[in-house]
Chain A
Amino acid sequence: MTCADFLKELTDYLDAAIDESTRAELEDHLAWCHNCYVICNTTKKTIEIYRDSQLYELPEELRSRLEVAILSKCAGKKKQSAP
């Protein structure tokens, strides 16, 4: 397996979406290829950091304001469509 082959499978490997034999081949490659090992680890870390970082949280005050706006518009639509 070449590094290019490994990279093609990286997404499925990180998502545990591959069969056992492909997984074993990829892990064989990881055992001797330091570059792919580093790429794999740092890509996994990239995903974890973004997943845990909560970059764009909705503040409660804004959330309440949005909910009121959405529901009043929905209620307005309901009235419009009532016979």
Chain B
Amino acid sequence: MAEKLHPETMAVIETKVRDAATDELTLVQAAKRGDVGAFEELVKRYDRNIFRIAQHITQNREDAEDVTQDAFLKAYENLEQFQGNSKFYTWLVRIAVNESLMKLRRRRTDRTVSLDEDIKTEEDTMPREVADWSPNPEQLYKQGELKDILRKTIQGLPASFRTVFVLRDVEGLSTEETAEALDLSIPAVKSRLLRARLQLRERLNKYFRKPKRAETAKSDVR
């Protein structure tokens, strides 16, 4: 099921990634020298991603707008502190995640939102229900309806799980980049990611499971 890429394809991808990183660093260095045009290029390159991440974490559009502005402004003000040891984008994501969590805390009365939030129970990784899904579950619903289901489902995850899932699976950051952006260890990222994926899967069961017949079996996971 997990497919490996051909070595030549991997080489092409690696070259493209390296070129993009060099290009990014050139823009950052120009911005550090005061070239606002170079910073504008970085804004245009990443504003969609930052907005998406912010809205996923805050679950609020106005907050996502504020976070997008504040994250870029903070990045601009602190460019000198960016050492180039990581990708600029990872550094920017880290700022945006922190801003998003601050917004979320302000909206919550319990004010306990944290990336350290690690709800550890056996249930998290032990699926309660094993039901096969329809072959193309996304086609069971109209586009808008499907998006509502997906939004509602991901909103139910704890912020710490949601954030890891969004960075890793929606935005495509690597495990290492996600760990760096969230200041978590790699095992912590993997553990949260597994639980986020399994919890989302479990919650989507009721929408996507195969209709009719008794396809659903009680979990007899050993």
Residues of chain B lying within 8 A (CB to CB) of residue A50: 150, 154, 165, 169-170, 200
Task: For B77, give the chain A residue with the smallest CB separation.
Answer: A77
B221 touches A4 (CB 8 A): yes
Is B48 part of the contact surface with A, judged by Cβ < 8 Å? yes
State the majority secondary structure of interface residues on A. helix
Total of A-B residue pairs, C-beta within 8 Å:
148
A15 touches B2 (CB 8 A): yes
Q: Given known contacts A2-B222, A42-B132, A56-B51, is B1 in contact with A11 (CB within 8 Å)?
A: no
Q: Smallest Cβ distance from B83 to chain A, in angstroms?
A: 20
A2, A3, A11, A58: the one within 8 Å of B190 (CB): A11
A7, A8, A16, A75: the one within 8 Å of B36 (CB): A75
Which residues of B45-68 have CB atoms within 8 Å of chain A's CB atoms? 47-48, 51-52, 55-56, 64-65, 68
Residues of chain B lying within 8 A (CB to CB) of residue A49: 137-138, 150, 204
Interface residues on chain B, number (Cβ under 8 Å): 58
Is B73 part of the contact surface with A, judged by Cβ < 8 Å? yes
B151 touches A4 (CB 8 A): no
B222 touches A4 (CB 8 A): yes
Is B120 part of the contact surface with A, judged by Cβ < 8 Å? no
Residues of chain A lying within 8 A (CB to CB) of residue B138: 49, 52-53
A56 touches B198 (CB 8 A): no
B56, B73, B146: the one within 8 Å of A70 (CB): B73
B130 touches A39 (CB 8 A): yes
Is B105 part of the contact surface with A, judged by Cβ < 8 Å? no
Q: Given known contacts A66-B47, A67-B43, is B73 in contact with A73 (CB within 8 Å)?
A: yes
Q: CA A45 – CA B198 in complex, angstroms?
A: 11
Is B158 part of the contact surface with A, judged by Cβ < 8 Å? no
Q: CA A23 – CA B131 in complex, angstroms?
A: 24
Q: Given known contacts A40-B1, A74-B73, is B219 in contact with A35 (CB within 8 Å)?
A: yes
22 residue pairs of the A-B complex, CB under 8 angstroms, read A3-B222, A4-B222, A7-B126, A14-B2, A35-B220, A38-B130, A38-B132, A39-B198, A39-B201, A41-B1, A50-B154, A50-B170, A52-B138, A53-B146, A53-B147, A56-B51, A56-B52, A70-B47, A70-B72, A74-B76, A77-B76, A78-B34
Binding site for B on A (CB under 8 A): 2-4, 7-8, 10-18, 23, 27, 30, 35-36, 38-47, 49-53, 55-58, 62-63, 66-67, 69-71, 73-75, 77-78
Binding site for A on B (CB under 8 A): 1-4, 34, 36, 39-40, 43-44, 47-48, 51-52, 55-56, 64-65, 68-69, 72-73, 76-77, 125-127, 130-133, 137-138, 146-147, 150-151, 154, 165, 169-170, 172, 175, 190, 193-194, 197-198, 200-201, 204-205, 208, 217, 219-222
